[in-house]
Amino acid sequence: MGQSGIGPSALVVSLDPRVWWPLFPLLLLVVVVALSAALVWVIRKKAPFADVIMQSLALSAYLLTAAVAIASEGGGRMPVYAHRLPSLLTQALLVAQLVRIWRRADVKPLRVYNLVAWGAILADTGLHYLMTKA
């Protein structure tokens, strides 16, 4: 059997943070756009007040996550993992909202926006994990 040339060292090089770091701001942008669109949608469609509150809280929690993550990148006194708690709060709010609205037929766009936001947050988490394990 010949060697394919792809081994553990190739994986380490391919997950080098210097190569993949541009994905983090892109994922942040996807989440902010999806959550903002969801908030605009619930306001324009005059959705129940609980939907407006949940979407407002999710967007606020993620903006806090983004601010903490950006502040912790400077190498200052804030640990680099400090953004995990507000990120988990955002994910919990998104899951709670998805559970609340899952069977409602009139909110399909809201489900899509929230699933896109949650998917981008999970992709960010997975990328962090892969880069630290490589």
Using 70 as the pLDDT threshold, list the residues of the chain that sit under it: 1-17, 74-76, 133-134
Judge contact between 117 and 34, C-beta under 8 A.
yes
Model's pTM, two decimal places?
Answer: 0.82
Give the pLDDT of residue 94: 95
Give the pLDDT of residue 3: 53
* DSSP-derived secondary structure for 69-123: HHHHTTSSSS-TTTTHHHHHHHHHHHHHHHHHHTT-GGGHHHHHHHHHHHHHHHH
Could you tell me the residue ranges of all domains in the chain?
Answer: 8-133
Give the pLDDT of residue 14: 59
